[in-house]
Amino acid sequence: MLRPYLTLLTVVLCVCSITAEDLIFFDSVLENIYEGRSDNFITLRRFNTDEGNITIIYTVSGIGITSPDDFIGGDFSIVYPPTADPLRVPINFIDNSECDASRTIVVRITGIDKAPVPDSDVKHYIVVDDDGEWMAWVTSEGPCNCETTTRDRFRTRTCDDKGIAGRTCDGPATMNETVSCAGDPTCPSTHTYLLNSTTTAMPTTSTTPAPVMPYLVISSPIVSECYGPWGCWKPGPCSVSCGQGSLVETRNRELLDCGNDACDEPLEQNRTAVCMEQNCMCAEALTRWSEWSASGSCSATCDGMLKESRNRICKKLSGCPGVPLDQTRIEMCSSAC
């Protein structure tokens, strides 16, 4: 009667002694980065705690934003203790412009001291704007002052809260300017000229020189601000359809009426940014994903977790740079305790 109990005890001991590899991975829930908040973070999860404290090295970069003006990017490290799950990784976001699209924080895990770098080592986080959006300027102008060859210009614009009450827009809603109206057809020539006059010659013996005829001089025009503010950075298409590539971001500004040739600076700026096309399948270059298969055994008889993996093959001789060929996931494998 003793043998069955010994056999059962041996099985229980074997199940309880199973260990699994420590794994670090991005949380699968949807997370965003928010303007106007100082507590932005992204979430990492951990499977197994046998290795104790694990140091994670990661990089933070951006699309449509610039470090350090809009966010704090670069290389960082953080310790993931076994007692903390999930781990909140702070993101220092500064930008508070009215740009409302195409801004992304990119986080990539580049190294882990006691665990493998996950196959899905990069994740994009959309920046959610907390501002309204200015509508186009509405401009009106007063009559030309022919003596100074200037006129008053009035600009007004409306803040669109985009359907969310309480959103405001940075910057003025009105703008008053003095701009040139040189050459206005309602005014006479703006060149220096001799006034027309009629005089009657009178006999005189005076030796006083004849008075100099008066001249009318039109003052030089007042030069207004040459340029409006720079608009938002807008990214162009990614250079690749799969994996990591580059794109060109462009922003523009408006040329205001300054009345001379002094406004000769560019109205457009370009810069290069990194882009990552993660969701493409590259059907012409990749085989289908294999079925998920378990790696090892269930970690516990209750609340147990199991690592599963799958892979695909790149058929191109030049390879598929930046495209993941292996994936892992963590699944529950036993009932709740």
User: Domains along the chain?
Assistant: 14-130 (2.60.40.2030), 281-337 (2.20.100.10)
197 vs 324: which has the higher pLDDT: 324
**DSSP helix/strand/coil, 220:** coil
- Distances in whole angstroms, Cα of residue 15 to Cα of each of 12, 224, 285, 302: 5, 80, 42, 11
pTM: 0.46
42 vs 246: which has the higher pLDDT: 42
- DSSP H or E stretch at residue 251: strand 243-252
CB of 14 closer than 8 Å to CB of 297? no
Question: Which segment of 30-34, 118-122, 162-166, 327-331 scores lowest on mean pLDDT?
Answer: 162-166
Q: Using alpha carbons, select from 168, 228, 219 the residue that is nearest to residue 190.
A: 219
**Cα(190)–Cα(182) distance, integer angstroms:** 7
Bridge partners for 328 per DSSP: 309
Residue 27 has pLDDT above 70, yes or no: yes
Give the pLDDT confidence of 242-257 residue by residue, as tens digits.
667 788 888 888 877 6
Give the pLDDT confidence of 175-225 residue by residue, as tens digits.
888 888 877 777 765 444 344 444 444 444 445 554 444 433 333 334 346
E strands, 113-223, are 122-128, 133-134, 138-141, 150-156, 159-160, 174-180, 193-194, 215-216
- C-alpha 163, offset from chain centre: 22
**Cα(137)–Cα(257) distance, integer angstroms:** 14
The pLDDT value given to residue 29: 83
- Calculate mean pLDDT across residues 297-310: 83
DSSP 249: E
- DSSP H or E stretch at residue 272: strand 268-277
Pairing status of strand 104-112 against strand 23-26: unpaired
Token pair for 174: 């009105």
Highest mean pLDDT among 11-20, 94-103, 125-134, 314-323: 125-134
CB contact set of 185 (below 8 Å; sequence gap of 6+): none
pLDDT band at residue 37 under the 50/70/90 scheme: confident
Question: Which segment of 62-71, 75-84, 167-176, 223-232 scores lowest on mean pLDDT?
Answer: 223-232
Bridge partners for 174 per DSSP: 156
**Cα(135)–Cα(246) distance, integer angstroms:** 31
- DSSP H or E stretch at residue 7: helix 2-16
